[in-house]
Structure 1
Amino acid sequence: MSSDRFNAALRAIDAANAQDPNLEEWEGALHPKELLYGRRMTEWQARLCPEASEALRLAARGQHIKRWEVPRSDYPKTREGYLRWRTRLYGFHGDQIGLIMAEAGYDEASIQRVKRMLTKRDLRTDSESQALEDTACLVFLEHYFAPFAAGQDESKLIDIVRKTWRKMSDAARTHAQELDLPGNLGAVVAKALDTGIS
């Protein structure tokens, strides 16, 4: 059972993401990019953790809330620039969800719980933070890896798979191996795993 405040917060997250000017085609229709991403996150989170807390469910749905307002292009095209952008996003997304949760009636402890999950600092010590990361990794592999891979060197793709794999739990890795990836991406994953990942 979902609480009234949860349903209100979920609707508000979706309403915010429905404003995304960037569109993505999916199943013959155009969708606001981050609205579609949030729904994909919810689908995978429900598969991984059907009994998840409201905090985890909100963190999953809102992980990319209003991301277009903090564009990557505002930061240098360097590794340092990328890390600065990602750090800024963690705080931005947390603040956006925090405002929505407060309006829906959540207490400060619940809001801080969601914000902490979004920082990704507790992956190996907090099961829900790990579940959120697992969800994001599976959404990436299923929906975004193929578009990203177009025109990329295979060695770079193998490196990305290795880095993604290291962040995932054993349960998420099992799901990842069951994905029906297009083209040669299944072979890329197999090559990455053949090298041994701890």
Structure 2
Amino acid sequence: MEESSKLERAFQLFDQANEQDPNREIFLGKTYAKEVLYAIRMTEKLREYAPYASEPLKLTARCQHICRWEIPRESYEMNRVGYLKWRQDLKKFHAEKASGILREAGYDQKTIDKVGFLLQKKQLKKNEETQTLEDVICLVFLEYYFEAFMEKHPEEKLIDIIQKTWNKMSAKGHYMALKIPFSKSSFELIQKALNN
């Protein structure tokens, strides 16, 4: 499918903004700004998961973590309340950042509002596109970030995270997740969490 030139321009602008991320990650021998790599993974996973996704959904996947490092987790209380406040503030921040970039790329207000709606995860489990976005987010986490996460946290916390991740996903998301080539230890832990 042909991508619109406006979409390509928005992707370029999103990636330019994310290129300012001071955090770097090496993947397959190449160094990326962390949020640029995350955005590419989101786009690729959406293409695989929902090849006929709408343009607003493609835009949202690409900017889901736009400039996330500007609001560090450490700037909030390191407890559940602090975490939830951080997540809520991030959603609004991402929506505002994305709006400015989408305007610059030439998008109309209707598209900007739709991307903002999706970035804020509104009507999860009720809105098909919000659910697709959440499935893609969870799949990217499980495929690319879960292994490193396992090394940092005790089993009890990991089981809780797996269960919460699973609960956010649709049946299709579950099916796709179980096709990820997990390591033996990851797969066993996921099975344990799902059988609890």
What per-residue deviation string (whole Å, max 9, x for no partner) do you get for residues 90-121 of structure 1?
Answer: 01111111111111111111101000101112
The match for 1:138 is: 139
Q: Secondary structure at the match of 2:191?
A: helix
- The amino acid that maps onto 2:98 is I
The match for 1:108 is: 109
Indicate the percent of aligned positions where both proteins have the same amino acid: 44
The match for 2:90 is: 89
Query: How many Å separate the matches in 2 of 1:4 and 1:176?
Result: 32
The match for 2:27 is: 26
Query: How many Å separate the matches in 1 of 2:31 and 2:110?
Result: 37
Query: How many Å separate the matches in 2 of 1:180 and 1:65?
Result: 28
- Bigger mean CA deviation after superposition, 15-24 or 145-154: 145-154
Matched, 1:69 2:70: yes
What per-residue deviation string (whole Å, max 9, x for no partner) do you get for residues 109-153 of structure 1?
Answer: 110100010111211111111010000000000111111110422
Normalised by the size of structure 1, how large is the TM-score?
0.95
How many residues align? The count is 195
What per-residue deviation string (whole Å, max 9, x for no partner) do you get for residues 143-178 of structure 1?
Answer: 111111104221211111110000001111011111
Q: CA deviation at 1:77?
A: 0.3
Matched, 1:45 2:46: yes
Query: How many Å separate the matches in 1 of 2:153 and 2:95?
Result: 32
The match for 1:159 is: 160
Normalised by the size of structure 2, how large is the TM-score?
0.96
The match for 1:191 is: 192
The match for 1:58 is: 59
Q: Secondary structure at the match of 1:42?
A: helix
The match for 2:118 is: 117
Structure 2 gap ranges (5+)? none
Aligned-residue Cα RMSD (Å) equals 1.0
Q: CA deviation at 1:30?
A: 1.7
Query: How many Å separate the matches in 1 of 2:76 and 2:158?
Result: 23
- The amino acid that maps onto 2:159 is I
Structure 1 gap ranges (5+)? none
| Moved segments of 4+, more than 4 Å | none
